[in-house]
Chains A and B, each alone.
Chain A
Amino acid sequence: MALPKVKQDATEARLAVMQVPHASGWLKAARDAALARVQAMGLPSRRDEYWKYTRPETLVQPQAIEAATFTPDEAPMFGEIDRIHIVFVDGVFDAEASDALEGTGVTIERLMSVADTDIHWARDVYGILEARGQDPGERPLAALNTAMATDGVLIHVSGKAEKPINLTYHHKSVSSDAVLHHVVKLDTGAELTLLENGPAAARFNKSMEVEIADGARFHHVRTMGRDHERRAASHIFARLGRESVFKSFTLTANGVLTRNECVIELTGDDAVAHVAGACVGDGNFHHDDTIFVTHDAVNCESRQVFKKVLRNGARGVFQGKILVKQGAQKTDGYQISQSLLLDEDSEFLAKPELEIYADDVACSHGSTSGAIDEEGLFYLRARGVPKGIATDLMTLAFLAEAVDEIEDEVLRSEINGRLAAWLERRRQ
């Protein structure tokens, strides 16, 4: 079917200013296939079902809108953690600032270093999970990423990774337009904690595909940086084998536009997937979580826990779906999306969806928007806690269900500390 002219034009205009990076062999094939997907789907427009609440124009237009950089006044995120640190500046790998790409239990390579290999493990993942994630629900920005990504890392985890891998993205140019693509593959029984932090670029398109074999465990904690003007579209595609675990948490503080998509496929029995997010926004803040979880195996558990604190006209969006395929019996699916609106100007738009084709499942979902609980606030104040601090305590308590999805106590307390500091800055 031909694309609407407007969409066709917008897609062509975007592609006209990009160049598919050099590759031969399998990577070239993957990029060509992705480019064909983009051309067939067209880039997102406001008329698309999953772009009704978030305007895609600035993510699609040929040139990125300039975004002021920001110098953080806090200690570097995850700086106290013993980790393998990999740094990108405006979407380009920075070898000097990074640790050696090596570690016990893991191999790490740059995407461009495999551009001319004939055989590589990543060929079974790169663009493969993204392509699977296009149905149902098109994600053209992810296909664009597969075709055009200029950098990224390929992480192969064969055992229990000794240290977390930390990808840090610095934003130093006001006009940078970065496209990064990472691939992570965990072998049977392997374990990895992946940390990501930073705003990356004026405009950032990032994709990560994660293949999790039987019994493997993947933990992911990301913070998106306090740069306010940057625009970001990110995708996570995860496929889970039997008895495997995927847990992902994202903290977003500030940002005029963030669209985080997460597409999870539970393909092995007894697998567990939790995806959570806490975001705090003030003013012209727009944050969109779009989540799609597919149960295609027996006795799997999935949880989606998303909390948003919005003030001064900030806007939050949640689109979350649980699809339970025929035969995916004993599915335990849970989805909650909640917003705390700190004033009457802020807005939360939620679209929770369940689609179930099995008859022996437990799925629940809920979505709420509300103000601070006045009873609780008065109780705290009646004990001497000043209103501002009491409000912050209640706000952190509201976010706790999402933050508590982080298993590691050190990471959890670091995230809580950042949230408390964000709130405290707004109290002064």
Chain B
Amino acid sequence: MLEIKDLHVDLEEEEKTILKGVDLTVDAGKVHAIMGPNGSGKSTLSYVLSGRDGYEVTAGSATLAGEDILEMEPEERAAAGLFLAFQYPVEIPGVGNMTFLRTALNAQRKARGEEEMSATDFLKLVREKGKELQIDADMLKRPVNVGFSGGEKKRNEILQMAVLEPRMCILDETDSGLDVDAMKLVAQGVNALRDAGRGFLVITHYQRLLDHIKPDVVHIMADGRIVKTGGPELALEVENNGYADILAEVA
């Protein structure tokens, strides 16, 4: 599904190299987790894949279902089925949550040559998905993320994911700022979307999210590279011993 090969990325403004050769393949139906200490390049990877400005790819490639995504505009990547759940969802005063989501869904459908969804069908869909995530009508009416608590923002991300039905989901520290109950709710939302045709890349600092979203593969990232790959037990090792042992081992 997602294939990243030898990806090298610099910051445009500072001439600083962040990713120094990332290799990673996520197959459809699988959940991969990336763990790693602060500054290892995890969030940069998610931004580069989703097309944020400010990064320069100096070498390597990233493809989604065989298509080169690095040449695409952010909206083209979304239409191709890539979704980034933001670590810090952006507040957009003046744009209603429903208007935003419907515009996004129909823009993606249009880009794929599909028919736009009617207002009635859309309302039904959002209400149904919102209910599972305990997102009420009031939250849907408010401007995008404005006045939302940390938990509400993250639930809103998962709602967008559920409505847009991407085939590759990247979750960037979706657990940050969540209490245990909110984390369970978010994890349930993600698990409900697990599907043979969909891949997940879950970026996190902590093992606890992975108690709720069980990964198939765990990668450890350090200094801009994947330094170790293993099964779920690797996350437990991090939880118990920290990163120091692993980093020492691969150094």
Contacts and interface: CB of A to CB of B under 8 A. Distances in A.
B52 A384 contact: no
B168 interface: no
B218 interface: no
A384 B73 contact: no
Tier of interface size on chain B:
20 to 34
Interface stretch (A124-132, A227-235, A273-281, A393-401): A393-401
Contacts of B73: 381, 386-387
A382 B47 CA distance: 10
B89 A380 contact: no
Contacts of B78: 381-384
A397 B51 contact: no
Contacts of B53: 374, 378
A40 interface: no
Nearest to A392: B103
B114 to A, nearest CB: 12
Contact of B104 (A374, A385, A396): A385
A379 B75 CA distance: 10
Contact of B74 (A376, A378, A389, A401): A378
A371 B228 CA distance: 43
Contacts of B104: 380, 383-385
A378 B78 CA distance: 11
Contacts of B99: 393
Nearest to B111: A384
Interface centre among A384, A397, A398 (most CB of B within 10 A): A384
A373 B105 CA distance: 22
B201 to A, nearest CB: 15
B103 A389 contact: yes
Name which of A375, A380, A390, A400 has the most chain B CB atoms within 10 A of its CB: A380
Nearest to B84: A382
B90 A379 contact: yes
B197 interface: no
A375 B164 CA distance: 20
Contact of A376 (B79, B84, B90, B101): B90
Contacts of A398: 94
A67 B51 CA distance: 47
A375 B90 contact: yes
B112 to A, nearest CB: 10
B123 interface: no
B206 interface: no
Contacts of B50: 382
A396 B78 CA distance: 23
A305 B53 CA distance: 33
Interface string B44-75: 00000011110000000000000000000111
A305 to B, nearest CB: 13
A383 B95 contact: no
Contacts of B144: 379
Given A383-B104, A393-B103, A400 B75 contact: no
Interface in B92-141: 92-95, 99-101, 103-105, 107-108, 111
Nearest to B93: A397
A383 B94 contact: no
Contacts of A390: 75
Contact of B160 (A383, A389, A394): A383
B148 interface: no
A379 B144 CA distance: 10
A385 B107 contact: yes
Interface string B226-238: 0000000000000
Contact of B95 (A381, A387, A394): A394
Nearest to B108: A384
Contacts of A393: 95, 99-100, 103
B243 interface: no
A381 B100 contact: no
Given A379-B89, A394-B92, 11 more contacts: A380-B92, A381-B73, A382-B74, A383-B160, A384-B79, A384-B111, A386-B73, A393-B100, A397-B93, A400-B93, A400-B94
User: Top 7 nearest A-B pairs by Cβ distance?
Assistant: A397-B94, A384-B78, A384-B108, A383-B104, A400-B94, A381-B74, A379-B90
Interface of A: 373-376, 378-387, 389-390, 393-394, 396-401
Interface of B: 50-53, 73-75, 77-79, 84, 86, 89-95, 99-101, 103-105, 107-108, 111, 143-144, 160, 164
27 contacts: A376-B90, A376-B91, A378-B52, A380-B92, A380-B100, A381-B74, A382-B51, A382-B86, A383-B78, A383-B164, A384-B105, A384-B108, A384-B164, A385-B75, A385-B104, A385-B107, A386-B73, A386-B75, A386-B107, A393-B103, A396-B94, A397-B92, A397-B94, A397-B95, A397-B143, A398-B94, A399-B94
